[in-house]
Structure 1
Amino acid sequence: MMRIWSIVLIIFLLSCDSDPTNRNPFLQEIGFQFDINLNLPLYSPLTNVGNAVYIGTEGVGIRGVFVINVGFDQFRAFEANCPNHAPDSCSTMEMEGQTAICPCNDFEYSLFTGQQLNRPDDGNRYFDMLEYRASFNGTTVIISN
């Protein structure tokens, strides 16, 4: 009997997560769904690999969403609010090619991966871009959270 309880205790201890949260404290995750019709001229750049668009429609993300075609009918979607800055008047990032730049602090992020490209080496914790689900169905990209 003691052996069974020991096994149960070991399994319980091994299933505990040592990192309590990976959540970004600056960004509130909101629920939404938005369909992108690639036949519309506004979104036609997404038919080419490496092209990205900004969608600033109210209710889509916090400050909008960047969507990029990463190839092989795969798309990625990221929150347009700087992940290392609370939402305010300067926190909406600007897109320059395949890079998003935060005007508050000049941090740069890859739209292919969402990773911060110029992370300071100052010992502070920095966050990559918040990614949303993106699925492709014929001529429609569906982004959601």
Structure 2
Amino acid sequence: MKKIWLLIVFVCVLSACSESDRNNKNPYIPSYAVNLSVDMNLPLYSNLKYASNGVIVPNYGAKGIIIFNTGSGYNAFDAACPNQEISSCTAMTIDGINAVCSCDKTSYSLFTGLGNKEYPLKQYKVQVSGTVIHVYN
């Protein structure tokens, strides 16, 4: 597992990865304003306190927001399938450390947002203050 993390860090250093460099241009997912706060002290979100756990918060973004604890921070992605028309699929589901599209069954890593398709998951910014996770764009 350490080798995988070192590889990810190495690739990010070589390609100058940063949150602001991520390309969220996607012809299938409209840009909705997102301003969401969840409190991990609430039972619905308490599993976010632990690494490799995620939840889907409905009624935000295109199909809901997936929040995932990476162990070193949090990621937030739109739950819409990034390579399908918005009306053709239901919201993605969480399967362990992956999000799975209901239309084509493609898996996307909740650590990176990447799958084996043209577009990655649409990512949102995340800020944590105590037990509150704020997701926004």
Tell me the TM-score normalized by structure 1: 0.74
Task: Pick the aligned partner of 1:53 from 55, 62, 65.
Answer: 55
| Ranges of 4+ aligned residues in structure 1 off by more than 2 Å | none
In structure 1, the residue matched to 2:124 is 132
Deviation at 1:22, TM superposition (A): 6.5
In structure 2, the residue matched to 1:99 is 98
Aligned partners of 2:82, 2:67: CA distance in 1, in Å? 16
Deviation at 1:89, TM superposition (A): 4.6
5+ long unaligned stretches in structure 2:
1-22
Name the larger-Rg structure: 1
5+ long unaligned stretches in structure 1:
1-20, 120-125
Percent of pairs with identical residues: 35
- Secondary structure in 1 matching 2:94: strand
In structure 2, the residue matched to 1:29 is 31
Whichever residue aligns with residue 122 of structure 2, its letter is L
User: Counting helix residues as a fraction of each chain, which structure ranks higher?
Assistant: 2
In structure 1, the residue matched to 2:113 is 114
Query: Over aligned residues, Cα RMSD in angstroms?
Result: 1.5
In structure 2, the residue matched to 1:65 is 65
Task: Pick the aligned partner of 1:43 from 42, 45, 54.
Answer: 45
How many positions carry a matched residue from both structures?
115
Deviation at 1:90, TM superposition (A): 2.0
